[in-house]
A = this chain, B = another copy of it.
Amino acid sequence: MRKQSSTMRPNPTLANTAEYAMVGRAQEVGMEKARYLEETYTVRFYEVDTQRRVTVPTICNYLQEMADNHAFILGFAVDQVLPKGLTWVLSRLHLRMKTYPCWRETLRIATWPSEVRKLFAFRDYKLLNAQKEEIGHATSDWLLLDLNTMKPILIPDSIQQNRATEHGRVFVAPTIKLPELDRVEHEKIFQVRQSDLDINQHVNNVSYIEWALETAPEEVRQTHQLTELQVVFRAAGQYGDEVVSQSRLLEEGPHKAYLHRLQRKGDGKKMTDVKSIWAPTGITT
């Protein structure tokens, strides 16, 4: 679980540009339409792997970017809830991919707030290729944290009423439960860099995913592609932290499943649990 500091400063120049444009958009199209957002990303040179496919961390960056853009349109982005003493934290992420767009190709992503359950607000995604075929889907589970108590609050009605339930849920059983890592087969240590930090000086969620996936064996990463990713975020890292990324093979077969754990080296605090499933390249699930 990641917290955001209460020292975020308002951005005086923002009012002139993107903010009004986006809020204007919600008013213009009407709230019902505004509850469903589509954006197109063109895969850049620095966002692909050696097979020229967009990387999984890049896709996770797009998903996070869209969550913020959409919350902003709907009026409850992280900088919009901050004056109320609240902040959003990403608790879980679940992604399934059939194929990946390549360098210079486009990825169209649709997102909507899909459900609210007590402390959790769920956001679902569909990912489409340039031919508008669905190539993946994802769900993200968010908590709204009271910055005074640092505890999650019940999702308020004002946010609940922005659900776009007509678009349904992309996973039948959306809540991730991961077993404990009981045995370590692969380990790597990562030093937190400046570029890993987000706006609040915490490690960006996507860095944990990157560090977890790097402990999948090299030969698996070269011959397979990730088809499913389950992530549970537990604690936030900071600059100067050393993070131990460990994993083991969980299920063998044509599809290989790995279980990953990220811990802070200093005090052993568990930061993130991950399960990754890999299929031989070229075989879709």
| Residues of A participating in the B interface, judged by any CB pair closer than 8 Å | 9, 11, 13-14, 16-19, 22, 42, 44-46, 48-52, 55, 57, 61, 64-65, 68, 72, 102-106, 130-131, 190-191, 193-195, 197-201, 204, 206, 210, 213-214, 221
* Contact, CB under 8 Å: A199 / B48: yes
* Contact, CB under 8 Å: A195 / B55: yes
| Contact for A44 among B48, B65, B190, CB less than 8 A | B65
The CB with the most chain B CB atoms within 10 A, among A9, A17, A55, A210, is that of A17
| Contact for A50 among B197, B213, B221, CB less than 8 A | B197
* Contact, CB under 8 Å: B17 / A104: yes
| Contact for A105 among B18, B68, B201, B204, CB less than 8 A | B18
* Contact, CB under 8 Å: A104 / B199: no
Which of chain B's residues have a CB closer than 8 A to the CB of A197? 49-50
- A238 to B: closest C-beta gap in Å: 12
* Contact, CB under 8 Å: A45 / B104: no
Which of chain B's residues have a CB closer than 8 A to the CB of A50? 197, 199-201
| Contact for A65 among B45, B49, B200, B206, CB less than 8 A | B45
* Contact, CB under 8 Å: A104 / B72: yes
* Contact, CB under 8 Å: A198 / B45: yes
- A244 to B: closest C-beta gap in Å: 13
The CB with the most chain B CB atoms within 10 A, among A45, A102, A103, is that of A45
- A195 to B: closest C-beta gap in Å: 5
7 smallest A-B Cβ distances: which pairs? A18-B104, A17-B130, A44-B65, A45-B68, A194-B214, A11-B102, A195-B210
Which of chain B's residues have a CB closer than 8 A to the CB of A201? 50
- A250 to B: closest C-beta gap in Å: 21
Which of chain B's residues have a CB closer than 8 A to the CB of A195? 55, 57, 210
State in angstroms the CA–CA spacing of A55 and B194 once bound together: 10
- A58 to B: closest C-beta gap in Å: 9
Which of chain B's residues have a CB closer than 8 A to the CB of A48? 199
* Contact, CB under 8 Å: B46 / A61: yes
Which of chain B's residues have a CB closer than 8 A to the CB of A19? 104
